[in-house]
Structure formats: structure tokens, C-alpha cells
Amino acid sequence: MTAKHPEIQSKVQKIHKLYYNGGLQGCGGADKNIEDLKPCPPAGAKGRKPWTNQKIVAGPIGLLIQQINRNAAVLDCTENDFVIRKHREVDISILKTPWQFLGHQIEETAKRCRDQTNAEARTLLENHKCEIDHESLKKAYAKHSEDDQQWLRHYANLGIWDDRKLATFNQDNEGKCSYCGAEKGTAVHLALFCPHFKEERFRGDDELQQVNLAKLPAPMKLGMPVHNMLNDDERL
Ligand SMILES: [Zn+2]
């Protein structure tokens, strides 16, 4: 907005100041402690109360500040230079970043935030600290048929109705694997560990047997590559 209409920049700064003085969460100053900021859980998840009880905003700048805050970041305007500040991330200047890169940079930050929230909320993700390599994931999916891609996404999104999930509303199901009787009939168990599918699992890729699947980081167990934790160690 300010790139196309630089004449309104001072107006935007005034609006930010009004929100800052009014105590809107997400308005940052140099003194703002960004280390303790938490990302907002997704709609329908527990723990959204601190975000739903926020002050009411009246316009695009207020909404922008709120959205930034929901991604565990603040919009800092102390130097009259709108900078998105987030713990352990490079500052993003809204006014100085070339606009063709700005959207991508912010999207990546939001993705990292979403992945962090999911890791903390979903048991199968084991509270991992990895950074998911979305670019490699996209390239890997492109090598599969449409149908297979759908299944892979379904599995990676924890959308499989495995025995453990079915047991939450079916009293006859104890949550054990219905193929081998293992204690935890999870989707990861079915895909990587269930002895019933051993032959199918390694068909076409014998080398896969040499990988210690149990030691893989949680996202990789769900078929998602990660940037870190791929050292030459006992896992591979
Ligand atoms: Zn099994």
C-alpha cells in the first residue's frame, strides 16, 4: 500500500502510534521482549483465548498488526520504519524489502510458525525442533501421480483414520494395530513399522532397509524432509 502511495506513509505511522499508545498487542518497540511471544493456535484448537480477547481494531493497519502478532512477531515502528521482528528470525523491513520478495519472506515466516504450532500440538510430531524443507517436499511430490500425492499429503497432514484415532469414539477398538496387534496402531506404525506391510514397504527400494526408521526426526517419519538434523549419523 505504501509502495504504491508513498504520500500516505506518515498517516500509516500515525495510526501505528495510536495503536501502540493504546496497548495493542503486536505493536513493538525496541524495548519489546520478543523472546516470549507465542504463535496463535489455529481455529478450533485450544489456547486461542489470549488472541480472541484482544482489542478491537478498525482498519487494515490494525488487522496487519494483529496478524503479525498471531505469528509470534511484532511490528516495530520506532524508527518510522516498519520492521517485523520475531525471535530467532531476521528482521523484515516492510518499507525497505523489495516488494517482489516481501510476500515470500513473510509467507516463509508464517509457515515456520505454523509448523512450530503443529509440532507442539500433535503427538505424532513429538514436539520436534526441525525446520521442514517445504521446497524439497514440493519437488518430491511433483514426481508422483495426482492420486499418490493426495495420499502422501493426507498422511503428512495426519489425516489418516488409524486405529488409535478410531479408538477415541469406538469402544470396540482398543487402539491396537488391526494388522499385527501392536500396542499403538498409529499411521506412522502402519507406514514404517508394521511387520504386516514389511514386504510392500521395501519393494522397489532395498536400500531403505538400511535406514534406521525409528531414529528419523518426526517430520521425516511422515514423509516431510527437514533442513537440519541430516548429519551422517546412526539414522542414515
Ligand atoms: Zn501393525
Q: Where are the domains of the chain?
A: 6-121, 133-221
Q: Output the CA torsion sign for 170, 174, 177, 178.
A: negative
- Residue 105: pLDDT over 80: yes
Distance from CA of residue 90 to its chain's centroid?
Answer: 17
Residue 73: strand pairing partners: 86
C-alpha 216 – ligand 1 centre gap (Å): 19
* pLDDT above 70: percentage of residues in the chain: 94
- Residue 163: pLDDT over 60: yes
pLDDT band at 232 (very low <50, low <70, confident <90, very high): low
- Residue 230: pLDDT over 70: no
pLDDT band at 195 (very low <50, low <70, confident <90, very high): very high
Contacts by 90-98, CB closer than 8 A, 24 or more apart: 94/2, 95/2, 95/9
d(CA 222, CA 216): 10
Task: Please check whether residue 196 is in contact with residue 203, taking contact to mean a CB–CB distance below 8 angstroms.
Answer: no
Tell me, what's the pLDDT at 118?
Answer: 87
Task: Please check whether residue 162 is in contact with residue 190, taking contact to mean a CB–CB distance below 8 angstroms.
Answer: yes
pLDDT band at 2 (very low <50, low <70, confident <90, very high): low
Report residues near ion ligand 1: CB below 5 Å: 177, 179-180, 182, 194
Query: How far lies 47's CA from each of 67, 75, 157, in Å?
Result: 16, 23, 21
End-to-end CA distance of the chain: 48
**Residue of higher predicted confidence among 72 and 233:** 72
C-alpha 178 – ligand 1 centre gap (Å): 7
User: Which range has the worst mean pLDDT, 34-48, 106-120, 172-186, 205-219?
Assistant: 34-48
- pLDDT tens across 129-141, in order? 888 999 999 999 9
C-alpha 85 – ligand 1 centre gap (Å): 46
d(CA 217, CA 50): 31
C-alpha 187 – ligand 1 centre gap (Å): 9
DSSP state of 42: P
Name the pTM for this structure. 0.75
- Residue 236: pLDDT over 80: no
- Residue 30: pLDDT over 70: no
Instruction: Single out the residue of 30, 34, 2, 33 nearest to residue 15, CA to CA.
Output: 2
Q: Say whether 230 sits in a helix, a strand or coil.
A: coil
Task: Please check whether residue 218 is in contact with residue 119, taking contact to mean a CB–CB distance below 8 angstroms.
Answer: yes
Average pLDDT over residues 180-208: 89
C-alpha 29 – ligand 1 centre gap (Å): 53
Instruction: Single out the residue of 185, 231, 190, 193 nearest to residue 213, CA to CA.
Output: 193
Cell of 189: 506404525
- Residue 80: pLDDT over 70: no
- Residue 128: pLDDT over 90: no
Please state, rounded to an integer, the average pLDDT across all residues of the chain.
Answer: 86
